[in-house]
């Protein structure tokens, strides 16, 4: 099987999206709608858990929200006015039903369901310790570590148990938790992964992005603060900040690629930020050309910004079909090459004989950029210049983003000149890290106190990486032997 979308195979993948509702009749139906809006954050699997005041109900399935949560028999069984859901793209744990969230367990204090966006960077260390003490894991997901930490905490109160568990984990997390007493929404102390809160009549809504609030008709209230726990119990909301105050480091890639352009992130329009990145890119890396062409769909806002700043016309030189399934059987190389064009095709009449600027959000392995440049040249482009609306991706992410190993990242292997040769472009340029910060309204990146997690560009990881460091040490030891 091969994806028919050549321009999405080589992207960084967000791990998942989460959505929760407390205090609304038919809460699971609202969750299903919210997950539809978050489907771009994870396409491998989806799940919903509800609470009807006496019992928890769950349905988890591989595949998209549509087809799994649009059946009456499924939704009718998810009773209650409290529910949470999850869409998954795995970064930790195999692609299997046992890893599909929300994860649920019957603890001594009652049922406990959790939906997690992010990655626990010391999960391996914690898991080994828990297994040594007798814990029996049912999944390979890092999220299950939280369940066991809560279950084995020496505190008696369920909320205290949860806070105690969070004190032991490292990395990035946004969580929606359901117990018989309350719904809890929280972010890690640095706010690396996003989570927002809304209101719908008398209900509280929590979601990875504001666009999911829009879809269900909820009013956006605010972002959950880094390190904050918001508890909804008996229809009343309260907030705790048990981890003190830390300088936030939200993932900068939310503005570059992950979030939908119609979302608000950090009180800024994602669409407007992406246009500003494109404008900054035009200032930093101008080139004479006839047309500015976006790589659909993620390159569109930045390409508009580049075109407006440079004065070069914006045109749709690559046409995308929205009516092709994700995968199909491809029996040979020739058919495989033709299959690529089912979803994206060059607008030959527009491109032929022109010098063009292709604008994309990022380069990861470089295989996608190579395909795009080849497609443009086959369509008769005279020159093909690539402009990238993020700095070179030189480092892997350990905070919930599916990133290739560092040695597979094109920017970690080659200089910009070497990357240009690899993708067969006439020129290639990236927005600078300072330029990216400027597009977000900052003066530039302050190396002493950056406002975002930009480790994929800089290697500056804001937390400890216990598991990764242990693996590196083991590899060095084995190499020495």
Handedness of CA 271, 297, 321, 292 (dihedral sign): positive
* 84 assigned to active site: no
Q: What would the two tokens of residue 320 be? A: 């995308």
C-alpha 314/C-alpha 184 separation (Å) is 46
Helix (H) or strand (E) holding 147, with range, is helix 143-152
C-alpha 297/C-alpha 213 separation (Å) is 22
Beta bridge partners of 172: 119
Helix axes 123-132, 143-152, angle to 10 degrees: 40
462 within 8 A of 192, measured Cβ to Cβ? yes
395 within 8 A of 458, measured Cβ to Cβ? yes
Q: What would the two tokens of residue 201 be? A: 């009549």
212 within 8 A of 20, measured Cβ to Cβ? no
C-alpha 198/C-alpha 215 separation (Å) is 12
3-state secondary structure of 438: helix
Helix axes 466-480, 123-132, angle to 10 degrees: 90
Computed over its alpha carbons, how large is the radius of gyration of the chain?
23
Catalytic residue ranges: 16
């Amino acid at each position: 099987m091969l994806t028919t979308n050549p321009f999405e195979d080589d992207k960084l993948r967000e791990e998942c999206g989460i959505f929760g509702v407390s205090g609304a009749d038919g809460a699971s139906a609202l969750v299903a709608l919210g997950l539809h809006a978050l489907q771009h954050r994870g396409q491998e699997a989806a799940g919903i858990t509800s609470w009807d005041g006496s019992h928890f109900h769950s349905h988890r399935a591989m595949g998209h929200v549509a087809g799994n949560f649009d059946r009456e028999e499924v939704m009718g069984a998810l009773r209650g006015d409290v529910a949470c859901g999850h869409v998954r793209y795995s970064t930790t744990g195999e692609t299997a039903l046992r890893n599909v969230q929300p994860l649920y367990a019957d603890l001594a204090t009652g049922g406990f369901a959790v939906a997690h966006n992010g990655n626990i960077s010391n999960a391996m260390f914690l898991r080994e310790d828990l297994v040594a003490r007798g814990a029996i894991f049912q999944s390979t997901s890092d999220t299950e570590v939280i369940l066991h930490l809560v279950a084995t905490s020496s505190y008696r109160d369920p909320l205290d148990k949860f806070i105690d568990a969070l004190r032991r984990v490292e990395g990035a997390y946004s969580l929606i938790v359901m117990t018989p007493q309350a719904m809890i929404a929280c972010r890690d102390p640095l706010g690396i992964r996003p989570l927002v809160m809304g209101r719908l009549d008398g209900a509280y809504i929590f979601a990875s992005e504001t666009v999911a609030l829009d879809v269900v008709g909820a009013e956006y209230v605010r972002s959950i603060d880094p390190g904050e726990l918001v508890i909804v119990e008996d229809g009343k909301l309260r907030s705790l900040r048990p981890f003190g105050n830390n300088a936030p480091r939200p993932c900068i890639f939310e503005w570059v690629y992950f979030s939908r352009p119609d979302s608000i992130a950090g009180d800024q329009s994602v669409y407007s930020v992406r246009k500003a990145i494109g404008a900054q890119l035009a200032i930093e890396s101008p080139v004479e050309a006839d047309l500015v062409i976006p790589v659909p769909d993620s390159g569109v806002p930045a390409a508009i910004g580049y075109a407006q700043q440079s004065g070069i016309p914006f045109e749709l030189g690559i046409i995308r079909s929205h009516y092709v399934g994700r995968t199909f059987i491809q029996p040979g190389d020739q058919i495989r090459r033709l299959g690529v064009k089912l979803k994206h095709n060059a607008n030959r009449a527009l491109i032929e004989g022109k010098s063009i600027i292709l604008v994309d959000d990022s380069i990861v392995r470089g295989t996608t950029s190579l395909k795009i440049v080849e497609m443009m040249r086959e369509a008769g482009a005279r020159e093909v210049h690539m402009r990238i609306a993020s700095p070179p991706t030189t480092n892997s992410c350990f905070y919930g983003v599916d990133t290739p190993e560092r040695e597979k990242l094109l920017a970690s292997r080659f200089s910009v000149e070497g990357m240009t040769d690899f993708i067969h472009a006439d020129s290639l340029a990236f927005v600078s890290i300072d330029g990216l910060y400027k597009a977000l309204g900052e003066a530039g990146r302050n190396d002493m106190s950056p406002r975002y997690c930009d480790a994929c560009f800089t290697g500056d990881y804001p937390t400890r990486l216990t598991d990764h460091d242990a693996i590196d040490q083991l590899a060095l030891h084995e190499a020495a032997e």
